[in-house]
Copies of this chain bind each other. A is one copy, B any other.
Amino acid sequence: MSATTVQNQQWLYRRHPTGLVGREHYELVSSELDANLAADEVLVAARYISVDPYMRINQSSKPTYNPDPHPLDVVQVAGVVGQVVASRAAGLKEGDWVFGMLGWQTHAKAHASALQKLDPAQAPVSTALGVLGMPGRTAWFGLTESGRPHAGEVVVVSGAAGAVGSLVVQYAKRHGCKVLAVAGGAQKCAWLRDVLGADWAVDYKAHTDADALAATIKQLAGGVDVYFDNVGGMVTDAVIPLINRRARIVICGQISQYSGGLDVAELGPRFLQHMLYQRATIQGMLARDYVHRMDEMIRIVAPWVKAGEIVFEETVVEGFGQLPNALNQLFTGEHRGKLLVKV
């Protein structure tokens, strides 16, 4: 790093994936970043960079939550936790921890208003990418606002071992619900039961089809009052015929469909008659709708985090060079809790 430039590494999004996303859709480039700062600007060095399922949604060729897909040949959009290297902003000094949507790059200049200062004494800074950040917001508001759980109800969570699902399991337990967690693999299921406190954990991979999975869920939990869905596909096919009267189905993610199914829709059994039978509700939600309400969540969840009452597992991949591989890992299921990359 010279006085006025810093060597910056960036992952550029180069090619639209049709199936799984991976290394071949990105290019690692290195360049000089002009480190001169304007007023109120800050230079940030990335420490933790996020990989999230939404990134693959936004690579779909069809309109998604954004009208247009992620543009090619620019840095992959991503949440980043970093440290201030230089600052011309009041309130941010060298060494301070910040969160910002700085993308897959080792360094970034940002206006102070686009950064959120983090207090390492309150919680590990990486939680700004997890339990106290976007995935946590998704879990909290998805469950409380769309799921509206009540004590004694049965909550089924798909993708239960993931960043969002693992929190939903715990928040639903705190609401007094009976929680059935669905995940892939015996190890994840044991963790969900033994560590997270799910009443039941079901390995969907141990079932040949939706009917078999439905039979297991029905035997364990009876009917379903809230279905918090991160996955879609076969798990959803199994759960929907089991909904109780006035069930609430929260569509938080459909990760089983992201690696191609958003471009060309997969076929599945029609099920809308069940909504009619049970006068049930399906509601889609996105974390962005609750950005302005983070204080409501922080007020409740941050003390739980500080008291060590919430399990917020992180799967940390070491090395900036691993970012595309880590993103790919989201869809192959080889992680637990929040997946992030340590620069």
Using a CB–CB cutoff of 8 Å, the interface residues on chain A facing chain B are: 57, 63-65, 229, 232-233, 236, 251-254, 257, 261-262, 265-286, 289
Residues of B within 8 A of A285 (CB): 276, 279
Q: Which residues of B contact A284 (CB under 8 A)?
A: 272, 274-281
Query: CB distance B266 to A266 under 8 Å?
Result: no
Do B272 and A282 touch (CB < 8 A)?
yes
Contacts of A276 in B (CB 8 A): 65, 251-254, 284-286
Q: Which of these, B236, B253, B270, B275, contacts A233 with CB under 8 Å?
A: B270
On chain B, the residues within 8 Å of A273 by CB distance are 57, 64, 232, 251, 254, 257, 261-262
Q: Quick one: which of B233, B265, B271 contacts A269, CB cutoff 8 A?
A: B265
* Docked pose: A273 CA to B254 CA in angstroms: 6
Question: What residue of chain B has the Cβ atom nearest to residue A284's Cβ?
Answer: B275
Q: How far is the CA of A286 from the CA of B277 in the complex (A)?
A: 8
B residues less than 8 Å from A280 (CB atoms): 283-284
- How long is the Cα–Cα vector from A10 to B285 in the complex, in angstroms? 51
Contact yes or no, B275 A251, CB < 8 A? yes
- Top 4 A-B pairs ranked by shortest CB distance? A275-B284, A265-B269, A282-B282, A276-B284
**A143 to chain B: closest CB distance in Å?**
15
Bound complex: CA of A65 vs CA of B277, how far in Å?
4
Min Cβ gap A312→B in Å is: 23
Closest to A281 in B: B283
Closest CB in chain B relative to A293 CB, distance in Å: 14
| B282 & A232 in contact (Cβ 8 Å cutoff) | no
- Name A269's closest neighbour in chain B (CB-CB): B265
CA distance A198 to B225 in the complex (A): 38
List 24 interface pairs A-B (beta carbons < 8 Å), by A numbering: A63-B277, A64-B277, A229-B272, A232-B270, A232-B273, A251-B272, A253-B276, A254-B276, A261-B273, A262-B273, A265-B270, A265-B271, A266-B270, A267-B268, A267-B269, A268-B268, A272-B282, A275-B283, A276-B286, A279-B283, A279-B285, A279-B289, A281-B282, A281-B283
Q: Which residues of B contact A266 (CB under 8 A)?
A: 269-270
User: How far in angstroms is the closest Cβ of chain B from A83?
Assistant: 34
Q: Which residue of B lies closest to A283 (CB)?
A: B281
Q: Chain B residues near A236 (CB, 8 Å)?
A: 272
CB neighbours (8 Å) of A57 from chain B are 273
Determine the distance from Cα of A274 to Cα of B276 in the docked complex, in whole angstroms: 19
Task: List B contacts of A289 (CB < 8 A).
Answer: 279
Judge whether A261 and B270 touch: CB under 8 Å. Answer: yes
Q: Given known contacts A64-B273, A268-B270, what 6 new A-B pairs fall within 8 Å (CB)?
A: A251-B272, A265-B271, A267-B268, A276-B284, A279-B285, A279-B286
CA distance A271 to B265 in the complex (A): 7
CB neighbours (8 Å) of A270 from chain B are: 232-233, 254, 257, 261, 265-268
Q: How far is the CA of A276 from the CA of B54 in the complex (A)?
A: 11
